[in-house]
Amino acid sequence: MIHQVKTAIVESIAELYDRMFSLDADAVSADTSPEESDLISETRLSGATEGTVSIRFPRSTARRLRALATGAEEDPSDADLIDLVNELTEMIVAGMRGRLGPAVVSASRPTVRFGLPRTHDAAGPQHDRWTMASDCGGIDIDAAIRSAPSLRFGNNQNRAAA
């Protein structure tokens, strides 16, 4: 399932960058260093698939994207950057849900903060991390998902019945 989620996120970001910024965005191996000044958005997934999608926007990337979107040249405030990351994350997640089907994934509204990304338990959910690279710099995506407990329980029941 993590592969479908990743593909849906990659396609959603590529569409978003193309339409809003006239930029190409490509998935590459994660290759960036987090900083305290980064903006982190987190969206909780529920439904048949549950988990978290975290997106890390380096401040410089967020500033460039905002300048491209609005044409504004002044230095954006922290609130402006949080607004940008919140709105972009909502569109990315909406695009992902549209591709996976709302029955598979429903999503919370994103929370956005400055700081370092959280670390995931490697033995926990299925997990993938990659960078979407563009001429405005990269953003890091971290997706951690698993099937919902009811489905796992259902699978056990099916096996018991068999």
Partner 1 sequence: MKTLIVDDSKMIRGIERTVLATFGCKEIVESSNAADALRLLQSFEPDLAVVDGSLAGEGSAEFIRAFRQKFPRAAVILVTAQTDQASAVEAIKAGVTAYLVKPFTPDLLMQRIEEACGRLTRAA
Q: Which residues bind partner 1 (CB under 8 A)?
A: 15-16, 19-20, 66, 69-72, 79-80, 83-84, 86-87, 90-91, 94-95, 97-98, 102
Closest distance between partner 1 and the C-beta of residue 70, in Å? Answer: 4
Toward partner 1, which CB reaches closer, 113 or 152?
113
Residue 95: CB minimum distance to partner 1, A: 6
d(CA 1, CA 107): 16
CB nearer to partner 1: pick between 104 and 144? 104
CA-nearest of 61, 73, 82, 36 to 140 is: 61
| Smallest distance from partner 1 to CB 28, Å | 22
Partners of 129 in the beta sheet? 142
Please check whether residue 77 is in contact with residue 29, taking contact to mean a CB–CB distance below 8 angstroms: no
DSSP state of 36: T
Instruction: Enter the tokens of residue 140.
Output: 């890091």
Choose between 48 and 94: whose C-beta lies nearer to partner 1.
94
The backbone region for 136, taken as left when phi is positive above 0, alpha when psi lies in -120 to 50, beta otherwise, is: alpha
Q: Which is nearer to partner 1, 93 or 143 (CB)?
A: 93
